[in-house]
Structure 1
Amino acid sequence: MDNLVKYVLRSSYRVRVLNAIGNDVKMPSQIAKQSNVLNNHISRTLRQLREHGLIELINPEMRCGRLYRLTNCGLMVLDNINEK
């Protein structure tokens, strides 16, 4: 868990994206708007967070209107980050 927290804290984009998603289900455009991260950075950040098991894509068959949410691990990392 500590390694994942450190991984997220190394990038302000990762921290902002996790905070933007929170307990909700959101599309990349909503995440970009709430986190103030440009769309081209959002795609890369979402991919990185998925690869580390912190977020999940709930409708992978969709090309448009993809929906993301935090995994249980992602929620624990976010709680840990917000405690600091």
Structure 2
Amino acid sequence: MDNTEIYHILGYIKISPYRTNTLKSIGNELKMPSEIANELNLKTSQVSAALSDLKKKNLVICVNEEVRKGRLYKCTPLGLKLLSELD
């Protein structure tokens, strides 16, 4: 991935406080949407929308997609790389 693509995705993240804060909240951990929502004082639906956006850009993955409740998300290597640019 070249710098132009990285800057494009970085801008996509930074334009939304929900995406930015959700990515920062996950960091190097495994987290459920409800944990992120409680930590950031957001609605679970806001976090779920941000996670969906981040997933489409290959920044986070759900490690247990098959379950309905208790889904866990973690940052991809690309997500972690861009996270270091957000600090």
Instruction: Sort the TM-score into its range (normalised by shorter chain).
Output: over 0.9
Q: Whose Rg is larger?
A: 2
Long gaps (5+) in structure 2: 1-5
Q: How far apart in 1 are the matches of 2:26 and 2:20?
A: 10
Aligned to 1:29: 34
TM-score normalized by the length of structure 2: 0.90
User: How many matched pairs?
Assistant: 82
Give the aligned partner of residue 62 of structure 2: 57
Task: Name the counterpart of 1:6.
Answer: 11
* CA root-mean-square deviation: 0.7
Q: Distance in 2 between matches of 1:44 and 1:78?
A: 18
- Structure 1 residue runs of 5 or longer lacking an equivalent are none
Runs (4+) of structure 1 exceeding 6 A deviation are none
